[in-house]
Amino acid sequence: MYFFKESVISFIVGSIALYGINYFNLSFNLLIMIIAWFLLILEACFTANVIVRLYEIIMKKIMK
């Protein structure tokens, strides 16, 4: 559930960044875009680490 919440937060931030160009000047929107992409990249790395850890745990249990 925690991972799902993180994904939703990232999606909302990304959406705000994408639609921000309609409401804010370009420089402010670019700042939001950079932050949003940074968060999405961090989340992708974090999710990949979790998947790798789960895979390792499952493999250890199978090997026993």
32-45: buried (b, 16+ CB within 10 Å) or exposed (e) per residue? bbeebeebbeebee
pLDDT at 53: 84
Q: How do the pLDDT tens digits run along the chain, 64 residues long?
A: 556 666 677 777 767 666 665 666 666 667 777 888 888 777 777 777 787 888 888 888 888 7
The reported pTM is 0.40
Residue 27: the pLDDT is 65
pLDDT on residue 20: 61
The confidence score (pLDDT) of residue 59 equals 84
